[in-house]
C-alpha cells in the first residue's frame, strides 16, 4: 500500500457507478438501509471515501474509454453495472449480475440471496443472458470458475454456460 493514501494504486482512476456511489455514501444509511447492511455500508463508505479524489462517476451508456461502455445491471445492488467491450465478438463483464455459470444460467429466474433487489436482478439477469445468447457475445463472470469466460446458449426458457475455447 502507498503510505500517503493507503491505496495500492494511488495514481489510478477509479470508475464507479454514480447510483452505486450515492447508495453507499448516503449519510442517512442507518435509516434508509436495513440493519443487516449497516456494517457493510460502514466498510463501503470507508473504502469509497479513500478513493474520493480518484473517482470518476459513470452512468449507463458512458464510455470508460473508447470501446468500454457502462451497461446498467442493477439488482445485486441498486447501482450495479456491468461493462461491455467492443471488438470482433464483444465481451460483457457481468460483475455480480450473473453470479454462477450453472445456477444463474439454468435458473435465471431464481432469487440469489445476496441480491438487494430480487425482481430487478432477475429481470436484468434474464435480459443480459438473452442478449449474450442472441448476439453470441462472450461473458466474463466475477465468481465463475476457470475458464470464467464463455457463451450463453439458449435452452428453452433457460441457458447453458459454454466455456470459451
pLDDT in tens, 51-94: 999 999 999 999 999 999 999 999 999 999 999 999 888 999 99
Calculate what percentage of the chain has a pLDDT beyond 70: 97
Cβ proximity of 47 and 54 under 8 Å: no
Report domain extents, the chain.
14-58, 63-163
Sign of CA dihedral 137, 123, 45, 21: positive
Determine phi and psi for 141, rounding to 5 degrees: -110, 145
Where residue 10 falls among pLDDT bands split at 50, 70, 90? Answer: confident
Q: To 10 degrees, the CA torsion angle through 71, 76, 77, 79?
A: 10
Q: Strand 149-155 relative to strand 158-163: parallel, antiparallel, unpaired?
A: antiparallel
Beta bridge partners of 68: 65, 85
What SS3 class is residue 52?
A: helix
In order of 5, 30, 84, the CA distances from 95 in angstroms are 26, 26, 11
pTM of the model: 0.89
Residue 66's nearest CA partner among 97, 87, 49 is 87
| Cell numbers describing residue 160 | 447453458
pLDDT of residue 28: 94
Which CATH number describes the domain made up of 63-163? Answer: 3.60.15.10
Question: Counting Cβ atoms within 10 Å, is residue 67 exposed (0-12), middle (13-18) or buried (19+)?
Answer: exposed
Amino acid at each position: 500500500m502507498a503510505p500517503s493514501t493507503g491505496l495500492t494504486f494511488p495514481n489510478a482512476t477509479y470508475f464507479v457507478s454514480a447510483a452505486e456511489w450515492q447508495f453507499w455514501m448516503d449519510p442517512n444509511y442507518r435509516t434508509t438501509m436495513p440493519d443487516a447492511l449497516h456494517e457493510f455500508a460502514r466498510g463501503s463508505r470507508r473504502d469509497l471515501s479513500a478513493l474520493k479524489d480518484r473517482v470518476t462517476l459513470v452512468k449507463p451508456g458512458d464510455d470508460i474509454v473508447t470501446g468500454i461502455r457502462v451497461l446498467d445491471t442493477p439488482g445485486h445492488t441498486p447501482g450495479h453495472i456491468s461493462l461491455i467491450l467492443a471488438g470482433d465478438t464483444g465481451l460483457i463483464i457481468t460483475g455480480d449480475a450473473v453470479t454462477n455459470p450453472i445456477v444463474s444460467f439454468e435458473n435465471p429466474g431464481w432469487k440469489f440471496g445476496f441480491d438487494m433487489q430480487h425482481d430487478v436482478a432477475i429481470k436484468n439477469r434474464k435480459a443480459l443472458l438473452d442478449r449474450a445468447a442472441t448476439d453470441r457475445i462472450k461473458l466474463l463472470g466475477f465468481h465463475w470458475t476457470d475458464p470464467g469466460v464463455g457463451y450463453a446458449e439458449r435452452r428453452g426458457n433457460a441457458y447453458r454456460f459454454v466455456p470459451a475455447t
